[in-house]
A and B are shown apart, each in its own frame.
Chain A
Amino acid sequence: MELRYPSFLPFSLLRNEAKLHTFGTTFLDSDNGPDSSLLCRELKWLVEDTIEDHSVLSQMSIENGKRSVRLRAGVEDLYNMWKQRIEERKPFQYIVGCEHWRDLVLSVQEGVLIPRPETELIVDLVADVVSENEDLREGLWADLGTGSGALAVGIGRILGSRGMVIATDLNPIALSVAAFNLQRYGLQDIIELRQGSWFEPLKDVEGNIAGIVSNPPYIPSDNISGLQAEVCRHEPKLALDGGLTGMDYLFHLCNGAASMLKPGGLFIFETNGEQQCKCLIKYLESDLRGSFCNVDIVSDFAGIQRFLIGFRQQQT
């Protein structure tokens, strides 16, 4: 669809930018939502994503004349999308239909958790370990609760030529989105999708798994309603609610890892922070004593103790 860019979009953008500045910190104050500078950034990205040919963006400063630019959606649609963003607090990523994550662009939609920046670090941790461990690099990996398939795609791209990933999720919507994403990156031969609950669909490979990664729901049930509207009103509770302490599934994953991982296999789980990590370590040392070694906590870039990492004890 061809529309005249200069006369429509900048004008409407300016109107919205002016409105945004009057928002100021309204969302931030009410539920720790985005402030006006973050909303302006989203608006800029919305326009960028709408314009088909990005090279015109750098030329706009010198061309003041009228110019036709191809857009992916009509201006009316853009207005409505932005209205939804502001009035309903619908997440930006659901509006544009994608999330930029690491060096990927992943399709996302309602019903699927939007991959978080923190989770990007899990792929780096896996890369560090497999760079020195050929056995794990060529092994079978599992991404449990894969959602959009972010972790599966991320680690699928760094494993060796014989490496494989099985990605599981309970939710069929998530699996269809994950299928789209792994195909987009040409990983159909490396990633297999299985529907089911956590380790259920992996019974046939018990004891043979080289690595398990997961970003399981870890928010305590009572906290969810207090989160910013983008999260609690629109993202799937199935992907967020971790029970009373938020740790229901983390414990489940630790238990499962003890029997599913092969000796020397790696696990990395994302958690809600220091308290949960420390609690899990205690659990591993008591109830699962002897199952794991080299267990460690890794902080994210905000300094929060975010990830629990460890290895299945080698059989003696």
Chain B
Amino acid sequence: MNSLTTSSTSRVLATLNRFPERFRLCEKSWGVNLSLRPMHIHKARRFVCMAEPYLITKLESAENTWKELSVKLADPDVVSNPSEYQKLAQSMAELDEVVSTFKRFKDCEKQLEETKALAKDDGSDQDMAEMIASEIDSLSNQLRKLEEKLKVLLLPTDPLDARNIMLEVRAGTGGDEAGLWAGDLVRMYQRYSERNSWKYTPLSSSETEKKGGFKTYVMEIKGNRVYSKLKYESGVHRVQRVPQTEAQGRVHTSTATVAIMPEADEVEVVIDPKDIELTTARSGGAGGQNVNKVETAVDLVHKPTGIRIFCTEERTQLRNKDRAFQLLRAKLYEIKVREQQEMISSQRKSQVGTGARAEKIRTYNFKDNRVTDHRLKMNFELTSFLDGDIETAVQACATTEQKELLEGLVESTVAPTG
């Protein structure tokens, strides 16, 4: 086999000079074949190869970076510096899948070449020819799949995916019923969090008259890649059901708005102390030594944006203050992020772009026991959905976004370059 490979390679390289510049970039993978193929397949290859150069360049660059990192990680200077080592090790780990899949791709290609060469060289043995043909088929299939996988792996990832979040649910108009619906959504996300072994901590809430209902509710959710999954939940969630308070059994429609805010640190969002008004509700009149009440709630107002945060859940003034600032930073960051994303998704004509706050994303119909996701145009069973079983919907959103990104990738690479 070795001699066969090496001989065919040298034969082919000699003929490459006849081909235009753009194919030379592919010479390591596709270029090897071109001289052995009849004309019509040339055309097919030519089309595919136009998408490839961009990917091959990226893949080779990833491979080189990976090799450089592994050399650096063996350097005793780096080993003795734990934070540097960790950073490099993490970068390397992120590239692992791309590099190993690329290797499998190249190996598969090589196998395909060798098998095709066999088909060419081997004589008229019918059985052998059939075996070789089916081998070529299955290898071609495998190659196609690996190519798809590589395209996905090379898609730009959302840098916010790994972050923890603040989740806010706000009841829409509709009084107590809207408040109860907001409460149902809070419980749905709490159960989903439990299923994912994420930790949720309530931050602030204002209850409605009816127990279990909220005008607003904010909680922090911490865990593995929380944002990557919950980012599709932003928007208006509409419910159609007979409210608890409804005596005549009529169906009402209410709404609640969900906002998903990735955590932002103090470097990303700078808050000028002059823009802040911070007060506490210490209704003791005189306060201080005169009073002993477990009252450390903090009221934070960000003057430029008018954002007001009331933080009550912690047990000390300092912790409520820190929480309030944490939430303010997340809100200010979310505004920034959303503006960017709205611009991108309108350019992309995206369906699941984590976009407009006022966008109705789902309708929950109790009578039909059905949840309809308007972006996906898919239905789900309501009872289990509200019990936190929303993983299918989340994955469907992620897949749809991935498809959109891939289409955008092809469009931008096939477009003629001046």
- Interface residue ranges, A against B (CB under 8 Å): 32-34, 38, 41-42, 45, 58-59, 61-62, 91-93, 100-103, 113-114, 116-120, 215, 217-219, 223, 227-228, 230-231, 235, 239-240, 270, 272-273, 300-304, 306
Contact check, B286 vs A272: say whether CB atoms are below 8 A apart: yes
Q: CB-nearest residue of chain A relative to B298?
A: A301
Using known A-B contacts A120-B317, A120-B318, A273-B286, determine if residue A92 contacts B191 with beta carbons closer than 8 Å: no
Contact with A along B269-291 (1 / 0, CB 8 A): 00000000011111011111111
Q: Is the CB of B317 within 8 A of A117?
A: yes
- CB closest residue in chain A, given B299: A301
Q: In the complex, A127 Cα to B139 Cα: how many Å?
A: 67
Shortest Cβ-Cβ A-B pairs, 3 listed: A100-B315, A301-B280, A117-B317
Bound CA–CA A42/B190 (angstroms): 24
Asked, given contacts A61-B187, A302-B280, whether A116 binds B288 with beta carbons under 8 Å apart, the answer is yes
B194 CB within 8 Å of chain A: yes
Flag if B278 contacts A38 (CB, 8 Å). no
Supply 26 A–B pairs (Cβ within 8 Å), ascending by A: A32-B285, A45-B315, A58-B190, A61-B187, A61-B191, A100-B316, A101-B316, A103-B316, A103-B318, A103-B319, A113-B289, A116-B287, A116-B288, A118-B282, A217-B289, A219-B290, A228-B292, A230-B292, A231-B289, A270-B288, A301-B278, A301-B282, A302-B281, A302-B282, A304-B287, A306-B287
Cβ contact of A58, chosen from B194, B284, B298, cutoff 8 A: B194
Contact partner of A300 among B287, B292, B293, B315, CB < 8 A? Answer: B287
B71 beta carbon closer than 8 Å to chain A: no
Most buried by A among B293, B294, B315: B293
- Are B294 and A116 neighbours in the complex by a CB distance under 8 Å? no
Residues of B within 8 A of A58 (CB): 190, 194, 199-200
- Chain A residue with minimal CB distance to B193? A58
Give the CA-CA distance A272 to B285 in the complex, in Å: 11
Task: Give the contact-size bracket for chain B.
Answer: 20 to 34
Known: A38-B295, A45-B315, A306-B288. 12 other contacts (CB 8 A): A32-B291, A34-B294, A102-B319, A103-B316, A120-B316, A218-B289, A227-B290, A240-B289, A270-B288, A272-B286, A301-B298, A302-B287
B317 nearest CB neighbor, chain A only: A117
The CA-CA distance from A117 to B294 in the complex, in Å, is: 9
Rounded to whole angstroms, the CA-CA distance of A138 and B295 in the bound complex is 35
Question: Please, how many angstroms separate the alpha-carbon atoms of A82 and B318 in the complex?
Answer: 27
Residues on B close to A: CB < 8 A? 187, 190-191, 194, 199-200, 278-282, 284-296, 298, 315-319
**Which of chain B's residues has its CB closest to A235's CB?**
B292
- Closest chain A CB from B215 CB (angstroms): 16
Whether A92 contacts B318 in the complex (CB less than 8 A), given A61-B190, A270-B288, comes out as: no
Give the residues in chain A near B187, CB-CB below 8 Å.
61
Please indicate the chain B residues that have their CB under 8 angstroms from the CB of A304 in the complex. Answer: 286-288
Q: How far is the CA of A91 from the CA of B199 in the complex (A)?
A: 32
Which residues on the B side are within 8 Å of A117 (C-beta)? 280, 282, 295-296, 316-317
**Do residues A272 and B289 form an inter-chain contact, with CB atoms below 8 A?**
yes
Residues of A within 8 A of B292 (CB): 91, 93, 114, 228, 230-231, 235
A226 to B281 alpha-carbon distance, docked (Å): 22
Q: How far, in angstroms, from A297 to B285 measured CA to CA in the complex?
A: 19
What CA separation (Å) do A33 and B194 show in the bound complex?
39
Asked if A301 and B279 make an inter-chain contact with CB atoms under 8 angstroms apart, the answer reads yes
Closest Cβ of chain A to B174, distance in Å, is: 24
Please name all residues of chain A whose beta carbon is closer than 8 Å to the beta carbon of B284 when the two chains form the complex: 32
Among A32, A113, A215, A303, the one with the most B-chain Cβ atoms within 10 Å of its Cβ is A32
Query: What chain B residues lie within 8 Å of A239 (beta carbons)?
Result: 289
Least CB distance from B196 to A in Å reads: 13
Query: Please, which residue of chain B has its CB at the minimum distance from the CB of A223?
Result: B290
Give every chain A residue within 8 A of B294 (Cβ-Cβ): 34, 38, 41-42, 45, 92
- How far, in whole Å, are A38 and B284 apart by their CA atoms in the complex? 13
CA distance A223 to B290 in the complex (A): 9
Chain B residue, CB-CB nearest to A230: B292
Residues of chain A lying within 8 A (CB to CB) of residue B286:
272-273, 304
When C-beta atoms are compared, the residue in chain A nearest to B313 turns out to be A41
Minimal beta-carbon separation of A112 from chain B (angstroms):
13
Distance, CA A222 to CA B316, complexed state (A): 30
Contact of B317 among A34, A235, A301, A306 (CB under 8 A): A301
Residues of A within 8 A of B194 (CB): 58-59, 62
A118 is contacted by which of B200, B281, B288, B315 (Cβ under 8 Å)?
B288
A263 to B187: give the CA distance in the assembly, Å: 59
Determine how close the nearest CB of chain A comes to the CB of B78; give it in whole angstroms: 29
Cβ A102 vs Cβ B316 within 8 A: yes
With a cutoff of 8 Å between Cβ atoms, the chain B residues found around residue A218 in the complex are 288-289
- CA gap between A123 and B296 in the complex, in Å: 16
Q: Which residues of A contact B296 (CB under 8 A)?
A: 117
A302 x B291 contact (CB < 8 A):
no
Q: How far is the CA of A103 from the CA of B284 in the complex (A)?
A: 23
Bound-state CA distance A62–B199 (Å) is: 14
Q: In the complex, which residues of chain B have a beta carbon less than 8 angstroms from the beta carbon of A93?
A: 292
Distance to closest chain B CB from A243 (angstroms): 14
Asked if B289 and A34 sit within 8 Å, CB to CB, the answer is no
User: What distance in Å separates the Cβ of A303 from its nearest Cβ neighbour in chain B?
Assistant: 7
A38 lies within 8 A of B293 (CB)? yes
- A75 to chain B: closest CB distance in Å? 22
Residues of B within 8 A of A230 (CB): 292
Chain A residues closer than 8 Å to B290, beta-carbon distance: 219, 223, 227, 231, 272
User: Chain A residues near B295 (CB, 8 Å)?
Assistant: 38, 117
CA distance A29 to B290 in the complex (A): 16
Q: Would B293 and A62 count as touching, CB distance under 8 A?
A: no
* Cβ of A235 to closest chain B Cβ, rounded Å: 7
Interfacial chain B residues near A102, Cβ < 8 Å: 316-319
Residue among B278, B284, B287 facing the most chain A CB atoms (10 A cut-off): B287
A90 to B275, CA, bound (A): 41
Tell me, rounded to whole Å, the shortest Cβ–Cβ distance linking A183 to chain B.
21
List residues of chain A with CB within 8 A of the CB of B318. Answer: 102-103, 120
Instruction: Give the shortest distance, in Å, between B367 (CB) and chain A (any CB).
Output: 26
CB distance from B125 to the nearest CB of A (A): 66
In angstroms, Cα B292 to Cα A304, docked, is 17
Using known A-B contacts A58-B199, A301-B280, determine if residue A272 contacts B316 with beta carbons closer than 8 Å.
no
